[in-house]
């Protein structure tokens, strides 16, 4: 009897999937196994594995995925129904294939008991247990044992994908929040709006992601994503035309999170209203870096006027004193001069009321 709890433990900690696979493999008499996903744009990844040569796994992704003669048969298998490929491996055309000769035979793979745990229009997650060397093929009893585990394995993969999707979303905001000014819009790989964000929703009057994708703004957001450069957009509102600057950033994410609910956020577009005036949060800079009142006055003056030579006269301060304050500001903020200080201060930009 297999310990079902191990399956659900892995659902909430993907680091346990290799150990889970090894346990399932031992239960079914396998010597190696993997959990993999692939999508409709010829991408694949081994999410977890045990007992395989990592070099062969990498070769599969880079070279042999497109030559896999078994893949169409496995993909056609109904969701949740295990299949043994032993009979297919006996067919002369399969044995003559490049995939068998260069990939399967060198690994001495005898059989592969595979299940499509989740099938979507654009993505499939598959678990497979392999027998190698002199091991016999899987029989009907083995397939029945795997079938008993499938409902639990499906739930575990579903839960894991959903959790990773939420982590991807949180990380998307973390990756891009520093560049957001008036709003942040999340797009999928095809440029469809996934999340317009409350600021841009209020500004544009668009009430749904689908509506936003079809709009003129949505088309410009997609163009900003494609070109990878800042793009201007004139947004027509009831109060008149608002000029926006749109800048896209590609997000780093775990695509396993796309499995359950479809394509996740792949790009984030920061939205800046160009007509809005901006300023610096001087008090926050001073507090964060423990500037004295005198240093804070010098900081605000040099950044407001964009130069240092007139600071002593403007503040009624000796030149040596203002210079001493400025050097202490450089030391406290970790900057190496005036231009570096200006770049540093950009982090503290806020809209003026």
pLDDT at site 131: 97
The rounded distance, in Å, linking the Cα atoms of 293 and 320 is 17
By CB neighbour count within 10 A (0-12 exposed, 13-18 middle, 19+ buried), where does 240 fall?
exposed
Task: Categorize the per-residue pLDDT at 253 as very low, low, confident or very high, splitting at 50, 70 and 90.
Answer: confident
Among the residues of 215-318, which ranges form H helices?
A: 216-227, 282-288, 293-305, 311-315
User: Is there a contact between 258 and 36 (Cβ–Cβ < 8 Å)?
Assistant: no
pLDDT at site 352: 63
Asked if pLDDT for residue 239 goes beyond 60, the answer is yes
Q: What is the mean pLDDT of the chain?
A: 88
Helix (H) or strand (E) holding 123: strand 123-132
In sequence order, the 6+-apart residues with CB closer than 8 A to the CB of 324 are: none
By CB neighbour count within 10 A (0-12 exposed, 13-18 middle, 19+ buried), where does 208 fall?
exposed
As its CATH architecture, domain 279-351 has Orthogonal Bundle (1.10)
Report residue 67 CA to chain centroid gap: 28
User: Is there a contact between 230 and 252 (Cβ–Cβ < 8 Å)?
Assistant: no
At 136, give phi and psi (nearest 5°).
-75, 160
The rounded distance, in Å, linking the Cα atoms of 71 and 83 is 12
Helix/strand/coil for 213: helix
Task: Categorize the per-residue pLDDT at 122 as very low, low, confident or very high, splitting at 50, 70 and 90.
Answer: confident
CATH tag for 180-275 (out of 3.40.605.10, 3.30.450.20, 1.10.260.40, 3.30.450.260): 3.30.450.20
5-163 and 180-275: identical CATH topology: yes
Q: Is pTM beyond 0.85 here?
A: no
pLDDT at site 59: 94
Domain positions in the chain are 5-163, 180-275, 279-351
User: Is there a contact between 47 and 156 (Cβ–Cβ < 8 Å)?
Assistant: no
User: Is there a contact between 183 and 199 (Cβ–Cβ < 8 Å)?
Assistant: yes
Among the residues of 177-292, which ranges form H helices?
A: 198-204, 209-214, 216-227, 282-288
By CB neighbour count within 10 A (0-12 exposed, 13-18 middle, 19+ buried), where does 37 fall?
buried
- Name the CATH superfamily, with its identifier, for domain 5-163: GAF domain (3.30.450.40)
Task: Categorize the per-residue pLDDT at 175 as very low, low, confident or very high, splitting at 50, 70 and 90.
Answer: low
């Amino acid at each position: 009897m297999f310990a079902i709890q191990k399956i659900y433990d892995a659902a909430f900690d993907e680091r346990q999937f290799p150990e889970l696979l090894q346990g399932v493999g031992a239960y079914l008499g396998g010597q190696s196994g993997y959990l993999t996903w692939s999508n409709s744009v010829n991408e694949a990844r081994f999410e977890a594995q045990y007992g395989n040569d990592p070099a062969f796994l990498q070769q599969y992704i880079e070279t042999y995925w497109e030559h896999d003669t078994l893949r169409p048969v496995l993909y056609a298998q109904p969701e949740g129904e295990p299949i043994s490929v032993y009979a297919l491996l006996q067919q002369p055309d399969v044995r003559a294939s490049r995939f068998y000769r260069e990939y399967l035979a060198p690994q001495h793979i005898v059989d592969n008991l595979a299940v499509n745990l989740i099938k979507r229009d654009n993505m499939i997650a598959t678990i497979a247990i392999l027998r190698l060397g002199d091991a016999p093929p899987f029989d009907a009893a083995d397939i029945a044992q795997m079938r008993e585990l499938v409902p639990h394995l499906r739930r575990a993969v579903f839960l894991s994908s959903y959790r990773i999707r939420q982590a991807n979303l949180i990380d998307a905001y973390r990756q891009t929040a520093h560049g957001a000014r008036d709003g942040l819009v999340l797009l999928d790989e095809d440029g469809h709006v996934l999340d317009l964000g409350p600021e841009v929703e209020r500004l544009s009057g668009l009430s749904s992601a689908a509506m936003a994708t079809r709009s003129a703004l949505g088309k410009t957001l997609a163009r900003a994503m494609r070109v990878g450069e800042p793009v201007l957009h004139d947004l027509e509102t009831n109060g008149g035309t608002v000029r926006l600057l749109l800048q896209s950033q590609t997000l780093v994410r775990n695509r396993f999170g796309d499995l359950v609910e479809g394509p996740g956020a792949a790009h984030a577009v920061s939205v800046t209203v160009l007509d809005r005036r901006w300023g610096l949060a001087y008090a926050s800079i001073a507090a964060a870096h423990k500037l004295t009142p005198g240093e804070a006055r010098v900081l605000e003056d040099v950044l407001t006027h964009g130069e240092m030579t007139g600071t002593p006269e403007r503040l009624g301060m000796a030149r040596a004193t203002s210079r001493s304050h400025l050097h202490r500001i450089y030391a406290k903020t970790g900057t190496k001069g005036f231009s570096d200080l200006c770049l540093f201060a950009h982090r503290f930009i806020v809209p003026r009321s």
